[in-house]
Amino acid sequence: MSRKGEFLNRVYFIMFGFLMAAIALIVQAVRINQIQGEEWRSKGKELYYKPIDIEAERGKILSDDGSPLAISLPFFDIHLDTRARGLTTEFFKKNIDSLSLLLSQHVFKDLSQQSVKKMLVKERDRGNRYLLIVKSADYQLMETIKKFPIFRSGQNKGGIIIDRNDRRERPFKILASRTIGIARNNAPSIGLESKYDNLLKGESGQRLMKKVGPDVYLPVDDVNEIEPKKGKDIVTTINVEIQEAVELALSQAVQTHQAEKACAIVMDVKTGAIKAIANLGYDEQGILNENYNYAIANSTEPGSTMKLASVAAMLEEGNFNIHSTVDQNYGSWTFYDRKMVDSEDHNVTQTDLEYSFIKSSNVGISKLVNQAFGSIEGQKKFASYYQKFGLTAKTSIDLDGEPDPLIKHPVKDKSTWYGTTVPWMSIGYEMQLTPLQVLNFYSSVANGGRLMKPYLLEAILENDIEIKRTKPTIIKDSLFSTNTLTQLHTILRGVVESGTASKVFSDQFNISGKTGTAVTNYYKQEVVGKEYQASFCGFFPSEDPIYSCIVVMYNPAIGFYGAQCAAPVFRVIAERCMRSRTLAGQYINVVPKPVLTSSGMPIGNYGYSKDFEQVFKHIELPYNNHHNEAWVKTTLGNNGIQTQPKTFVRGLIPDLTGMGLRDALFLLDRVGIKVKVTGSGKVIWQSIPPGTLHSNPYELLEISLQ
């Protein structure tokens, strides 16, 4: 075959293929249009229907007493389908006048009845299927409109369409606003609203909607395909009264001291429950509000408040106590090539650890710590104590944004560990901690060495029934020895009674704590003028701590020391927290006490067991000393006077409360301390707390008798 013939054959073959394909397409088109037409037209109509999610009512966020901190209030958009299937012309004309009158009275108050009627008739003639009657009506107005003529006939015959939209409201307005947070769809959520979103948001429902116009869908009927399930409520640990007191005191202090920002936290020391968190700062418009959670997320060098950790490490070593001597060298000392000074000039030289702590001497504390941990092995041991105290790990509070603590280690951070690191770490520099992380350490001291996990979620409710309750979590059970704890409590109380925090002193109850003043821009050589962070951290009442609290003021312009601006705020907060207890105590003291049977019994006394035995034998009162201890406390039992053993450790100040003068002097003579006595009767007060280690031969103990 010639080349021309071969080419033509191929062309004919391709043309035949195209012809057959065209015939097949024509046949299929006829088949779809004529034979399967109804089926496909029906399916086409179905494209105008689709299920739309219905958002569930969001759960409430409640305070510790059940007061609402955040709730969802229902608001309603009401529309009219002027061409609803059952809305006949006759029915519309019969009721349009009365409907127009009521709408002009309750909704379109600036329009007359005739104007409203004209508008409704016009929209019906246009075939408007989604005429807006009112937007964001409250529940009461919605219920009123539902009863209007035409509307009362429902969606099918009356054309009324009601769309519910929940709006998140905070009844206490800005109170704890950053902690409560915001739930939003177009930006990241924050606070508790974000952390517990899965609990609060509930389960969405579904409703079948029909498309009646561009992006306009109407519900097919009044019944939902799937009903939404309301979100669960969460009960927080936040106490409204304490939170309000904290925010008010902090706000006043920020303005008085012209600080850039500030934060404060109040915690239950025994459980770790957060009772209040306040964060204040100025926004771009210069308005003071809660624009960032400094208490949880702002990690800085804390300064002198962390002297407590370095002192605790020394005491745990066992070679130092609060009476260990140190030369403060008039408040100046050079470690390697770097000079350290105290915050103020003074003439103090030879003194001890306790004095250095309560007066917040940088030189005194750093020299002692460097003496204890200055060697290569000592540096490793010093860093290990911060890990033991829980300061190298996050608190894992149930809020997002907490950073890891930055605590140096001579091995892991070899490139940034210097010969001056131990002295500067000892006074709260060359480390970074958040206010909450510092507070949690202080709480462990207040809680007998037990470190708790801070938390905000108290319980979860479903339909007002509690389904889960948070149990306090112990992170570490025992951080310190008993001897260390006793001495830490002594010096923390001394800071308030005779140290840098005298402005915190309250005549209603005892407070323990530590001031802190840190220079935050010392490493910026080009900056002129220092910036400060002032703080006070502590707990109260000292004898049996209930609450711990930290107050931090960032770069105050007036009075930049912790004792000047942070400590007074702490006192206001503490007195507000204790108000109910102090008022109750005052009230009880006013009311005459009932005379109890035990009131006339010789109980509640401390003393020498043999003396008690002779006295009770003489007055023929049964006396049972089953413990065979030399020193006892008397109590009342079913069979007469019972005893509880009382142990005294040589070298430690004994508990003298309830003792007669003779027994008290006998024990104090064994301790070897000078005594000053006022009054007569039994001991009711002693100037040095029980359990304090006595090593200063010049120390004087005062006791009062009554």
DSSP code, position 182: B
pLDDT over 70 for what percent of the chain? Answer: 84
CATH class of 242-582: alpha beta
What three-state secondary structure class fits 68?
A: strand
Among 487, 514, 500, CA closest to 324: 487
Q: Where are the domains of the chain?
A: 52-236, 242-582, 600-705
Among 511, 663, 621, 516, CA closest to 575: 511
Q: How many CB atoms lie within 10 A of CB 617?
A: 11
Model confidence pLDDT, tens digit, residues 458-489: 999 998 899 999 999 999 999 999 999 999 99
Tokens of 12: 């004919």
CATH class of 600-705: alpha beta
Tokens of 358: 């309560």
Report, as an integer, the average pLDDT of 174-200.
87
Report, as an integer, the average pLDDT of 199-220.
79
Q: Residue 599: what pLDDT?
A: 41
Q: Give the CATH fold of the 52-236 domain.
A: Penicillin-binding protein 2a (Domain 2) (3.90.1310)
How far from the centroid of its chain's Cα atoms is residue 395's Cα?
11
Ranges of H-type helices in 31-61: 37-46
Model confidence pLDDT, tens digit, residues 679-694: 877 877 787 877 677 7
Q: Give the confidence band of 252 by pLDDT, cuts at 50, 70, 90.
A: very high
Model confidence pLDDT, tens digit, residues 566-592: 999 999 999 999 987 665 454 445 545
The 3-class secondary structure across 635-676, one letter per residue, is: EEECCEEEEEECCCCCCECCCCCCEEHHHHHHHHHHHCCEEE
Instruction: Name which of 178-182, 379-383, 427-431 the model is least confident about.
Output: 178-182
